[in-house]
Amino acid sequence: MPKKLAHFQTTAAAERFTQAVAAGAETAPFQVLTGMGGVGKTQLAAHQARVLRDAGQLDLLVWVTAATRTDVVDAYAHAASQVLGCDQGAPDRSAASFLAWLEPKPGADRCRWMIVLDDLADPADLRQLWPPTSPHGRTVLTTRRRDAALAGADWRHVPVDLFTTAEAVTYLTATLAAHDRHDRPDELAALAEDVDHLPLALSQSAAYLIDSGLDCASYRTLLADHTVALDASLPDRLRDDQTTPVTSAWSVCLDRADQLRPVGLARRMLRLIAMLDPNGIPEAVLTGEAARQHLAAHTADRSRLASSPFRSRSPRRDVSEQQAREALRALHRLGLIDHDPENPHETVRVHRLVQRAVRETRTAHRRDLLARTAADALMASWSRSYFDTALSRTLRANTAALTAHAEHALHKDSTHRVLFEAGHSLAASGQDAAAVDHFRHLASAAHNRFDRLDAQQDLAWQLGWTVDPATAVATLKKVRRSRVWVCGLTEPETLGSWHSLAVLRGRAGDVAGAVKSLKRVLRLKRWILGSSHPQTLDTRHEFAWWTGKAGDPAAAVAMFTTLVTDRERVQGIDSYDALASRYALAWWTGKAGDPATAVAALRELLGRFERIADSDHPDLLDLRHGLARWRGEAGDTAGAAEALASVARDQERVLGPEADDTRRTLRALARWRGEAGLTDTRAPTEP
């Protein structure tokens, strides 16, 4: 049994375990402490064993290191030699005798026993070696495994979690104070956050602080420096009988996970997970085509190693979605990740130090390849994310984590498109300032001149819709000139710049110039790309919109009527672009003098949108605003005011009170309250 900790920390898990033990052997003869490596399961079991022993409630305590079946047999045989006088030279027979002796027997002297099976690696190792159920005995199991075999009516599971911030600060304060160290609680709380509240990491961090004499702030700077290996921030000499540094705490489990079916995939899966957000990774990202190709490289490696050097290289075998999912379950069973299939957007969670330890086993070149693979895996999910705000948020978080780990790899040769998608998603979610900052950084970080032009164009577009259309127009003129020089006049990229420039001219007040320019772009796109190309359809949409803005709503209605038909045929009835054009058709129908038809069209569109989009999606909120406005124009002023008040509340919650859409709704609300003769017709003060 490990020696007593100098500063044992009482936690919620410790209290739960104490209650389970106090319930008695008859209620819970098998108690299982489960949790990832480094959370303190062994110390918790040892603490409770000492408590029972010191209270005189145990006659026999057997501590078994259960890493292998041989270890268990040897421990039982040693106990048999001490209790029964058996010959240790026949360990299997002695172990069987010991287990038989533990069986409760009528009339026999009562022996209160506890057997601790510490760090069980594989439940199969205990086949025919489980201690018996007895009213006088308890079996305590510590394990990272989460197998179905470790469950039943006689089993009570006690999950051992990470420290809370308060528990971590209390532990660090007591440990450091014993060596006359008195760091500020806020610095200790920040250190706990840096190591994600892992008890083993906190213990070894405290030892490093004591041994090195570094202050807490300097040590946190060392931890944050990812050019320094994690091992360099750990003590040379481990305390409290610790035998494993935090960087190695999971290696044995990973070896075992890699041996579970499908053999050899768990390690490669964890490498991919190590590049993404520890707080939640969608399962679809890890089971998609890019992830499966990464996993399939393992089968090619195995085939190559098994084949003769004179044979041709064996092709890699495909990895199915189910096999990728089974690799996740293998990692979950060994406590290396949390895999929750019921949470599709944040299915996989993992400790940050596990990720860092895994990343540090790879060379810089291998990490770069992993980064591009992870970006490919994320990219495949963006197409399904537009109407799902929760998925979009999770994908942005994963892209941010990936960028923090390996941004240089994402700009190598060419900037990965996932970085552009992250910026577009910020804009679509209403985070305009963050989108501007994102594209400004992207424009400066991109190495490839084509990527720089793309980022500059996206930046100008975002500025044109949120801050300064005139400046955006000037920027886009430069981008278009560069596009012509680099790509040529008729390339799709150049036509796209011309399209954006025309739209932002309209935003800057030059409506006639926008219509004229869009007409020319549309003619070129039809000639070069064809009438049904998505870019051509985009320009048709903007041309119709600005035609209406130029004072001809009837012409806009006619253009949008045919455009909606073409959009739905080419892009799908529920595609974002088809819905956007249908919304514009309803809007200009109202502007053309038929608000009642606009209301009917928008109600139908709202029902369709609600079936495919989250209730908090910014476009859905905007659609509700438009419906309310045309209800007012159709004569239902009180209904318009009531609906706008509801929209304003939701926009303030989702987008914030200072967002342009929120302020626009509040102004409309003041107007329609006034039209309806209601009190409080004030509009918000303009910023």
Whether residue 141 contacts residue 31, with contact meaning beta carbons closer than 8 Å, is answered with yes
Who's near 213: CB < 8 A, 6+ residues apart?
none
Q: Is the pLDDT of residue 685 over 80?
A: no
Q: What pLDDT score does 681 carry?
A: 47
Q: What pLDDT score does 654 carry?
A: 92
Instruction: Say which residue, 228 or 595, is predicted with more confidence.
Output: 595
Least-confidence region, from 87-101, 213-227, 510-524: 213-227
Q: Is the pLDDT of residue 298 over 80?
A: no
For residue range 540-581, what is the model confidence (pLDDT) as tens digits? Answer: 999 999 999 999 999 999 999 999 999 999 999 999 999 999
Q: Is the pLDDT of residue 244 over 70?
A: no
Whether residue 630 contacts residue 595, with contact meaning beta carbons closer than 8 Å, is answered with yes
For residue range 468-492, what is the model confidence (pLDDT) as tens digits? Answer: 888 899 999 999 999 988 888 888 8
Q: What pLDDT score does 543 carry?
A: 98
- Whole-angstrom Cα distance, residue 1 to residue 47? 10
Least-confidence region, from 154-163, 240-249, 306-315, 323-332: 306-315
Q: Is the pLDDT of residue 307 over 50?
A: no
- Whole-angstrom Cα distance, residue 348 to residue 647? 34
- Whole-angstrom Cα distance, residue 321 to residue 672? 54
> Nearest-CA neighbor of 136 among 276, 256, 29, 280?
29
Whether residue 58 contacts residue 114, with contact meaning beta carbons closer than 8 Å, is answered with yes
Q: What pLDDT score does 235 carry?
A: 61
Percentage of residues in the chain with pLDDT exceeding 90? Answer: 63
Q: How far is CA 251 from CA 195, 197, 281, in A?
A: 18, 20, 22
Instruction: Return the H-helix or E-strand segment holding 661.
Output: helix 660-676
Average pLDDT across the chain, whole number: 89
Q: What pLDDT score does 555 carry?
A: 98
Q: How confident is the model at residue 202 (pLDDT cuts 50, 70, 90)?
A: confident
Q: Is the pLDDT of residue 239 over 80?
A: no
Who's near 8: CB < 8 A, 6+ residues apart?
43, 47
- Whole-angstrom Cα distance, residue 638 to residue 631? 9
Q: Is the pLDDT of residue 19 over 80?
A: yes
Q: What pLDDT score does 491 carry?
A: 87
Structure tokens, 315: 């092709």
Q: Is the pLDDT of residue 15 over 90?
A: no
Quick one: 12-159 is in which CATH superfamily?
Answer: P-loop containing nucleotide triphosphate hydrolases (3.40.50.300)
Structure letter (DSSP) for residue 236 = S
| In the chain, where the domains are located | 12-159, 165-248, 251-305+316-404
Percentage of residues in the chain with pLDDT exceeding 70? Answer: 91
Q: What is the pTM of this model?
A: 0.82
Q: How far is CA 602 from CA 222, 564, 586, 627, 637, in A?
A: 57, 14, 6, 6, 17
Q: Is the pLDDT of residue 312 over 50?
A: no
- Whole-angstrom Cα distance, residue 174 to residue 188? 11
Q: What pLDDT score does 632 carry?
A: 97
For residue range 416-470, what is the model confidence (pLDDT) as tens digits? Answer: 999 999 999 999 888 989 999 999 999 999 999 999 999 999 999 999 888 788 8
Q: What pLDDT score does 109 carry?
A: 79
Structure tokens, 245: 């540094």
Q: What pLDDT score does 245 carry?
A: 62
Q: What pLDDT score does 247 carry?
A: 64
Question: Strand (E) positions, 268-425?
Answer: 338-339, 348-349
Q: How confident is the model at residue 21 (pLDDT cuts 50, 70, 90)?
A: confident
Beta bridge partners of 413: none
Instruction: Return the H-helix or E-strand segment holding 30.
Output: strand 30-34
Q: What pLDDT score does 240 carry?
A: 54
Q: How confident is the model at residue 255 (pLDDT cuts 50, 70, 90)?
A: confident
Q: What pLDDT score does 238 carry?
A: 52
Q: Is the pLDDT of residue 303 over 50?
A: no
Q: What pLDDT score does 150 carry?
A: 80
- Whole-angstrom Cα distance, residue 686 to residue 304? 68
Region 243-266 average pLDDT: 78
> Nearest-CA neighbor of 241 among 487, 529, 42, 457?
42
DSSP per-residue letters across 158-192: EE--PPPHHHHHHHHHHHHHTTT----HHHHHHHH
Q: What pLDDT score does 462 carry?
A: 92
Q: What pLDDT score does 306 carry?
A: 45
- Whole-angstrom Cα distance, residue 137 to residue 233? 43
Long-range contacts of 222-227 (CB under 8 A, 24+ apart): 223/191, 223/194, 223/195, 224/194, 226/356
**Helix, strand and coil percent figures for the chain, each rounded to 5:** 65, 5, 30
Q: Is the pLDDT of residue 683 over 50?
A: no
For residue range 96-121, what is the model confidence (pLDDT) as tens digits? Answer: 999 999 998 887 778 999 999 999 98
| The pairing of beta strand 348-349 with beta strand 338-339 | antiparallel
Q: What pLDDT score does 224 carry?
A: 83
- Whole-angstrom Cα distance, residue 167 to residue 6? 16
Q: How far is CA 17 from CA 50, 115, 159, 539, in A?
A: 13, 15, 9, 66
Q: How far is CA 532 from CA 497, 537, 557, 564, 615, in A?
A: 19, 6, 19, 12, 32
Q: What pLDDT score does 471 carry?
A: 87
